[in-house]
């Protein structure tokens, strides 16, 4: 795993603007909030021969609950090369205020050379060979299914739903998408990926603390690597990045729930049928009623990026799916609004209709047996996640405001969206319209064509 923080260099057009370090920025803005003087006066008061003194004078307040100061460091970009897909998922789950991206399984063909060493992820030595055999079989299924689907799409391009005006380059890309989108369910959750995150120091320290609370060696190594890079930018804030009783206790409650589910039911290997639940909270206090009707909230809307009015923004949505495959969970988990939650307790294994591989049953049976052995060891049990696949289904909940959820529906059913996203968000949209049918004319549900 290689972790690198990126410094932001001002562009030429801003070469005459004041330049500050993240902590000096935070300390200057903290003074700004306690003064009626302009920022120029505050910057002039800094001893540029000893700017650290100004920082120290302010950052002592962080220890007295003034965490908002740590939020004014600006976005600090850090990239993590070679973490597992599971760890990237946890980073985005924990850091619900971050901006970032992860390597896409749609554009990158993966193979077994990107698997971590078993010891790096907490697989006990006596189970290492069995885990590696499971992983090799996973990639054998993935490769063979990809090759078969790619050949099928070449023989019959109509199954890819190509646009009539697509040139050869676009046709090739969409054909690859067709095969990659359906073969990816055999990819192990343990495979190495790359993740890029941009957060303030306040969010970074909380993220590192919770990451380090996971009982997994990969998480501890990543947390320490992140501290090492963040130390270059905000050294005073690192004291807030270490686990405490609450972060460890809450983390273990969720992990233990998933392990208990596996101990009780073993690893479910059948496809779990779709179920979606959605609740809409639309009440308003009598002293602050809606200022507009629903239709007025959509006045001027041209696309999913358009602004909508407060009548929609004030409504709260909680959507939950019983069987999101980890392949789709990785992306839905990166929506930056509200709160996303999954205990990662497996409930089934998903493959698209009409897609199969002759070794699927063998693969899932091996995974079930391996996890059964792993969870008998209390120390090693949390590493069960590294034996899951992108086809593993888990329950997932997203709570947010209605305008953000409409954006999610339109994005995940729009042109080029993965077909399975479209199925999940179409189902959620139907539930939403059952509750509030007046919204139907204002939500642009797409057909996800072409993929």
CATH number at residue 341: 3.30.1360.170
Q: What is the pLDDT of residues 307-362, one digit of tens each?
A: 999 999 999 999 999 999 999 999 898 887 889 999 999 999 999 999 999 999 99
Closest-CA residue to 73 (of 4, 2, 7): 7
Strands 316-325, 339-341: pairing is unpaired
Task: Output 439-445 pairs: Cβ under 8 A, ≥24 positions apart.
Answer: 439/294, 439/406, 442/294, 442/295, 442/298, 442/301, 442/406, 443/406, 443/409, 443/410, 444/303, 444/304, 444/410, 444/414, 445/409, 445/410, 445/413
Q: How far is the C-alpha of 296 from the C-alpha of 307, rounded, in Å?
A: 12
Residue 281 sits in the same domain as residue 417: yes
Angle between helices 245-265 and 201-212 (to 10 degrees): 50
Considering the domain architecture, whether residues 219 and 316 belong to the same structural domain is answered as no
Gyration radius (Cα) of the chain, Å: 24
Contact 394, 342 (CB under 8 A): yes
Alpha helix (H) residue ranges in 157-282:
168-183, 201-212, 217-230, 245-265
Buried b or exposed e, range 317-347, using 16+ CB within 10 angstroms: bbbbbbbbbbbbbbbbbbbebbebebbbbbb
Q: What is the pTM of this model?
A: 0.91
- Same domain flag for 215 and 279: no
Residues 294 and 438 in one domain: yes
Same domain for 217 and 342, yes or no, is no
Please name every residue paired with 101 in a beta bridge, in sequence order, or none if there are none: 196
Look at residue 64 in the predicted model and tell me its pLDDT.
44
142 confidence band (pLDDT: 50, 70, 90): very high
Q: Which two tokens stand for residue 95?
A: 């850091």
Q: Do 97 and 22 form a contact (C-beta atoms < 8 A)?
A: no
Distance CA 56, CA 141 (A): 57
> What does the pLDDT average to over 97-125?
88
Q: Which of 134, 148, 189, 173 minimizes the C-alpha distance to 355? A: 148
Decide: residue 255, CB within 10 A, 0-12 exposed, 13-18 middle, 19+ buried: buried
Q: Rounded to an integer, what distance in angstroms lies between the CA atom of residue 12 and that of residue 30?
A: 27
pLDDT for 2-24, tens place per residue? 999 999 888 888 888 888 888 88
Residues 327 and 230 both lie in one domain: no
40 found inside a domain: yes
pLDDT confidence bin for 428, thresholds 50/70/90: very high
* Maximum CA extent, the chain: 72
What CATH code is carried by the domain that includes residue 22?
3.30.1360
Crossing angle of helices 22-32 and 201-212, rounded to 10°: 120
Q: Give the integer Cα–Cα distance in Å for 352 and 420.
A: 8
Residue 47's pLDDT band, with cuts at 50, 70 and 90, is: confident
Position 20 scores a pLDDT of 82
What's the rounded Cα separation, in Å, for the pair 422 and 432? 15
Q: Both 316 and 237 in a single domain?
A: no
pLDDT of residue 28: 78
Average pLDDT for 382-390: 98
Q: Are residues 212 and 310 in the same domain?
A: no
What domain range includes position 220? 2-81+192-243
Q: Is residue 138 part of a domain?
A: no
Closest C-alpha to 445, from 420, 392, 409: 409
Is residue 288 assigned to a domain? yes
Confidence of residue 97 (pLDDT cuts 50, 70, 90): confident
Say how far apart CA 361 and CA 431 lie, in whole Å: 34
310 and 278 in one domain?
yes
For 224, the 3-state DSSP assignment is helix
Host H or E run for residue 311:
helix 310-313
Q: Clarify whether residues 216 and 299 are in a common domain.
A: no
- Banded model confidence at residue 111, pLDDT cuts 50, 70, 90: confident
- Same domain for 234 and 321: no
**pLDDT tier for residue 295 given thresholds of 50, 70 and 90:** very high
3-state class (DSSP) for residue 442: helix
Do the domain assignments include residue 322? yes
109 assigned to some structural domain: no
Counted domains in the chain? 2
């Amino acid at each position: 795993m290689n972790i690198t923080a990126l410094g932001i260099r001002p562009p030429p057009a801003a070469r005459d603007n004041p330049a500050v370090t993240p902590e000096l920025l935070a300390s200057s803005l903290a003074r700004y909030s306690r003064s009626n003087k302009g920022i120029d006066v505050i910057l002039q008061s800094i001893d540029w021969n000893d700017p650290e003194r100004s920082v120290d004078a302010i950052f002592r307040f962080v220890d007295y609950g003034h965490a908002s100061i740590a939020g004014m460091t600006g976005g600090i970009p850090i990239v993590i090369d070679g973490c597992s897909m599971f760890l990237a998922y946890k980073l985005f789950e924990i850091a619900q205020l971050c901006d970032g991206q992860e390597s896409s399984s749609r554009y990158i063909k993966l193979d077994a050379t990107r698997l971590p060493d078993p010891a790096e992820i907490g697989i006990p030595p006596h189970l290492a060979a069995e885990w590696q055999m499971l992983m090799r079989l996973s990639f054998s299924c993935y490769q063979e299914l990809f090759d078969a689907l790619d050949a099928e799409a070449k023989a019959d391009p109509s199954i890819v739903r190509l646009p009539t005006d697509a040139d050869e380059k676009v046709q090739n890309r969409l054909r690859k998408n067709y095969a990659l989108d359906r073969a990816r369910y055999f990819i192990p959750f343990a495979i190495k990926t790359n993740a890029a995150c941009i957060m303030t120091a306040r969010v970074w320290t909380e993220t590192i603390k919770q990451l380090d609370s996971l009982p997994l060696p990969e998480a501890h190594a990543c947390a320490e690597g992140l501290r090492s890079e963040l130390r270059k930018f905000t050294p005073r804030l690192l004291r807030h990045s270490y686990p405490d009783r609450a972060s460890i206790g809450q983390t273990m409650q969720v992990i233990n729930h998933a392990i208990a589910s596996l101990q009780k039911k073993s690893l479910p290997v059948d496809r779990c049928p779709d179920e979606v639940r959605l609740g809409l909270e639309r009440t308003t206090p009598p002293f602050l009623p809606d200022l507009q009707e629903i239709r007025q909230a959509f006045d001027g809307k041209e696309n999913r990026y358009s602004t909508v009015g407060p009548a929609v923004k004030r409504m709260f949505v909680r959507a939950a799916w019983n069987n999101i495959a980890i392949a789709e969970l990785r992306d839905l988990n990166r929506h930056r609004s509200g709160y996303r939650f999954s205990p990662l307790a497996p409930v089934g294994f998903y493959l698209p209709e009409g897609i199969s591989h002759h070794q699927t049953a063998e693969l899932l049976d091996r995974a079930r047996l391996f996890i059964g052995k792993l969870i008998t060891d209390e120390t090693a049990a949390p590493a069960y996640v590294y034996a899951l696949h992108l086809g593993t289904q888990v329950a997932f909940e997203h709570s947010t405001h209605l305008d953000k959820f409409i954006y999610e529906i339109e994005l995940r059913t729009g042109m080029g969206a993965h077909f399975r996203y479209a199925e999940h968000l179409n189902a959620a949209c139907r539930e939403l319209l059952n509750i509030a049918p007046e919204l139907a004319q204002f939500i642009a549900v797409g057909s996800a064509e072409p993929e």
